[in-house]
Structure 1
């Protein structure tokens, strides 16, 4: 087994990581003084019709909207198959969006795996108690 370079409890870098030496920090420091000019140039470019400059500004000022959860009223009784059919019918009928319906179907699938696992555990416990 090779011998370690450093003794236990002794750091190979006693001064630690150098402060403010990461590339991102160095870039930030180099442009701090120029930020007002950069923003003014972006505004001027956006006013002149530069779509990319406008997008940069708008993305920083008004971040994109995130989808909002909407309440869904579907029957929750019956088997998982019947619940899945209700979801599919609601998607086809336009009552719920397809992406939400897909999430609900995925949740039903996960639920079925949980139920299946629980049933298998119970069967194994019964078999083990019989032997």
Structure 2
């Protein structure tokens, strides 16, 4: 049985991904490799969750598969926040792409969609 799930995203710009997930969404660095110099992989704690961010480099990955699969919607991260509207405004001010504005849903959640710097959909909800 699964004990825990830990999503890892490949990114064309680790600096931009860190700016989005760490600086704008409040993640805190939990792990960095290598520990000295510019990192190629960083783990962030976001509330009770963790997210891995790996830089796309010329070094082949361990699994041998391309890190940038076919274009299009391949992953969606659901991020629970305290205030969807305030989070959207903070992201908008930083230049993030807002896909859908905050809206109340019939099942009781308030939801908005934004894009991270690599084009991954991020659903903000409370």
Do both proteins adopt the same fold according to a TM-score greater than 0.5, normalized to the shorter chain? no
TM-score (norm 2): 0.21
Q: TM-score, normalised by structure 1?
A: 0.21
Which is higher, the Rg of structure 1 or of structure 2?
A: 1
The structure whose residues are more often strand, as a share, is: 2
Which protein is richer in helix relative to its size? Answer: 1
